[in-house]
Structure 1
């Protein structure tokens, strides 16, 4: 179950959140025994520090969490969550208000991926502080936890069939409609590149199409659902294949975002498209040198079968574009070049729309979901034009790999389309407060915060 706020009860322990500058003043106002205990334990309000406050019988009656200084807080997404490991399991109530992102960080710090491991980890519950939008924070936490779960599940249990099941479960929960085009029906309905990438796998490729809402502007999300990527005939080395269960991180993030949109009942019409495939090796694998004809009619020369994500996204983007949505967003774990450029902590995105870019940047800053705009650099268009076909799926040379991938995808949207593409990592490589190692949501909260301004909701 996604983490939720606790009910306010008499036995909830008060939690004081004290920064470094205010620690001495706070201690001076505490009872003598409590002050002596805190001083003996060396509590200074440093970020990540925590101290249980004992009552007369030695049992804890409250706690204090260090909030550090501004410089320390700037170095972590959820500063309060850093103190959770030092708090005893139980239920806590804040004694002073904090930003809603800190409450979200607390909930996310209680996330556990326990599908393959028995036993309950001790939880630290938080009573929803007065004045915060608790249902919204819980909806954001549930969306993030869905994304993390989907990315964390290994490919043996999260192939195209299981990804379809996850989408169907979500659709049923919120009354959304869903259709799925599978196997050779992809060719019959003109999705040739999705079929080509996924046809060699044990599970048939498919296009998942979910719709929700009957009022307001139209939003189409497209998520890359490559459930495992061997690289195809351009086989990845073993070291590069180890994390490829996360190559459906774009799909996982769009499913999480869709969940939040539906849970919050936003007044818009949502469409979610997920091309779900596994890029495998068999006698019928697509090959380097092949030329594929896309749904849009553009031909694509395959110069590397490991650049498959943009192929499946292209057919799905073309389908979404045909309905002329007010806004279209694609998300993918697409390029190592993006990871090298900005590292795993930032979600890079591309758009030609300055107002959309500003809204996304502001939303990311407000929601502890940082994003970074990258350029659709027109002079690089020639790099994706091989001469033998309209487009090249993997330009040689290695320069600007994230930009050329984004330029490739933009070719499958109409000129002037309000569109943004996110080239995300979707993985937390080492534990951080509120973000355990593993699958990660990157961008959905920034997008969600931008939607009211961008779509005039």
Structure 2
């Protein structure tokens, strides 16, 4: 992706084309007030008062054209109302005819995202630069767009090019940029300290050896915040192998780790006054003669024993060990991200992450932040009446209850067993993928819940 800081610039009166934004409900009155040549151009382009529609308006000279774009409410711009223009306009400088873009800066940046690692981008005609007098907003918007691009890049990368080692390298790159420290435990060294991470990842080729990646940053005197991300770089399902349709997108099963790393990057870039502890258990859930089996009983870092009912319920296992490690440091807050269950997608669809939290104040803060940032979440319950579903006849826990009921709830309740009751904890069951393109949000990997979590952390600790 191009240098995002170049795509939004302070308006110093430099030459630029004008963008006129018009309310959909005031469109007819606006058209009536236009000169004949504009009305003729609008009719020729069949502009309708629907969201994201636009047209070119001719000027006195052929090169003096401007743009009209339809938005829902000019007085309250969304992050996405300029995104389609950023995707489709020719390269050059642009400014709004009236007012400032405000939150719409984000869509201007994310609309120009391209993942071109594997093919030449034939649509990229050059940068579209938005000019604004709201200079104070630029840096934060660029940071958020860059974090979003990081999630997209990692999730879109093929599993052959992004295994546990490459996920470690990505984390090391972010750590180096901000002076953070990295600790990695991998391979057979995981057996004593992170036995469930080891069990899930041990069947992979040695080049994809499992590992627990830890990053620490910030003043130890500041409140400790732990961010945990599920890093299953490819999920075959293990011996309970997925069907081909279910395996097709499993390169994205490290989407939780991508979100966690992006959120950690935001924390460090903003220099939030916290002691950051990032944990990424990184594995490939592969199949070989030494793969863990249905019916096996695993020990966990916390000491709980877990009976394996299904090897395709592996994400909660590696997160359990990572959450136990995070809890040992007495954090003030734990946030985890995971592409954990298909049940959450059945319930809420691809765009709405399921939020679970053991603290109502934390949950309310996240839900409010999600609405304010146009990054919505939906809270589901840690319903104690379903605790019996996690029981095992021979172990402390069962990793995959029979019956298929409340799959996302029981998965979250499994994770809850590895978090101290007194520690505020939030769990995001996110899809990390867009099955269809929307303005500013192309099909493929995407950050869902990231901006909500970041807004909550800023409000809590800034």
* TM-score bracket for the superposition, by shorter chain length: over 0.9
**What are the residue-to-residue correspondences of 1:64-79 with 2, within 5 Å?**
64-68=68-72, 78-79=80-81
CA gap 1:131/1:366 in 2 versus in 1, 3 angstroms: farther
1:46 CA displacement: 2.5
Moved more, 108-117 or 3-12: 3-12
1:85 CA displacement: 4.5
What is the aligned-residue RMSD (CA, Å)?
2.0
Q: What CA distance in whole angstroms lies between the structure 2 residues aligned with 1:352 and 1:62?
A: 52
Partner of 1:145: 149
CA gap 1:124/1:99 in 2 versus in 1, 3 angstroms: closer
Partner of 2:119: 117
CA gap 1:2/1:249 in 2 versus in 1, 3 angstroms: farther
Q: What CA distance in whole angstroms lies between the structure 1 residues aligned with 2:179 and 2:64?
A: 46
Partner of 2:106: 104
Q: Secondary structure at the match of 2:8?
A: coil
Contact 2:86 2:109 in 1 (8 A): no
Partner of 2:19: 15
Gaps of 5+ in 2: none
Contact 1:47 1:82 in 2 (8 A): no
Partner of 2:200: 197
**What are the residue-to-residue correspondences of 1:369-408 with 2, within 5 Å?**
369-408=375-414
Partner of 1:410: 416
1:44 CA displacement: 4.2
1:456 CA displacement: 4.3
CA gap 1:261/1:281 in 2 versus in 1, 3 angstroms: same
- The superposition leaves residues 209-245 of structure 1 with CA deviations (integer Å, 9 ceiling, x where unpaired) of 0011115321100100000000001111111000000
Contact 1:218 1:327 in 2 (8 A): yes
Partner of 1:209: 214
1:260 CA displacement: 1.4
1:40 CA displacement: 4.1
Q: What CA distance in whole angstroms lies between the structure 2 residues aligned with 1:85 and 1:294?
A: 48
For 2:373, which of 367, 379, 400 is the aligned residue? 367
Q: Secondary structure at the match of 2:132?
A: coil
Q: State the TM-score, normalized to the length of structure 1.
A: 0.94
- The superposition leaves residues 6-60 of structure 1 with CA deviations (integer Å, 9 ceiling, x where unpaired) of 3346222111111122334434554443344334434344322111222333224
- The superposition leaves residues 339-392 of structure 1 with CA deviations (integer Å, 9 ceiling, x where unpaired) of 001000101110121111111011111111111111000011110011210000
Q: Secondary structure at the match of 2:303?
A: coil
Contact 1:357 1:373 in 2 (8 A): yes
Moved more, 31-40 or 312-321: 31-40
**What are the residue-to-residue correspondences of 1:302-341 with 2, within 5 Å?**
302-341=308-347
Q: What CA distance in whole angstroms lies between the structure 2 residues aligned with 1:2 and 1:435?
A: 18
For 1:178, which of 161, 178, 182 is the aligned residue? 182
Q: Secondary structure at the match of 1:172?
A: helix
CA gap 1:142/1:86 in 2 versus in 1, 3 angstroms: closer
Q: What CA distance in whole angstroms lies between the structure 1 residues aligned with 2:291 and 2:46?
A: 63
CA gap 1:344/1:98 in 2 versus in 1, 3 angstroms: farther
1:100 CA displacement: 3.2
- The superposition leaves residues 61-107 of structure 1 with CA deviations (integer Å, 9 ceiling, x where unpaired) of 3211111469xx99x97233234445333221112335633210111
Contact 1:63 1:87 in 2 (8 A): no
CA gap 1:45/1:124 in 2 versus in 1, 3 angstroms: farther
Q: Secondary structure at the match of 1:420?
A: strand
Moved more, 46-55 or 236-245: 46-55
Partner of 2:4: 3
Moved more, 27-36 or 156-165: 27-36
Contact 2:114 2:121 in 1 (8 A): no
Gaps of 5+ in 1: none
**What are the residue-to-residue correspondences of 1:216-227 with 2, within 5 Å?**
216-227=222-233
User: Does the alignment pair 1:58 with 2:62?
Assistant: yes
Contact 2:87 2:112 in 1 (8 A): no
CA gap 1:52/1:99 in 2 versus in 1, 3 angstroms: closer
1:2 CA displacement: 4.9
Q: Secondary structure at the match of 1:350?
A: strand
CA gap 1:60/1:68 in 2 versus in 1, 3 angstroms: farther
Q: What CA distance in whole angstroms lies between the structure 1 residues aligned with 2:407 and 2:346?
A: 10
Q: State the TM-score, normalized to the length of structure 2.
A: 0.93
CA gap 1:178/1:371 in 2 versus in 1, 3 angstroms: same
CA gap 1:99/1:124 in 2 versus in 1, 3 angstroms: closer
Contact 1:2 1:145 in 2 (8 A): no
User: Does the alignment pair 1:429 with 2:435?
Assistant: yes
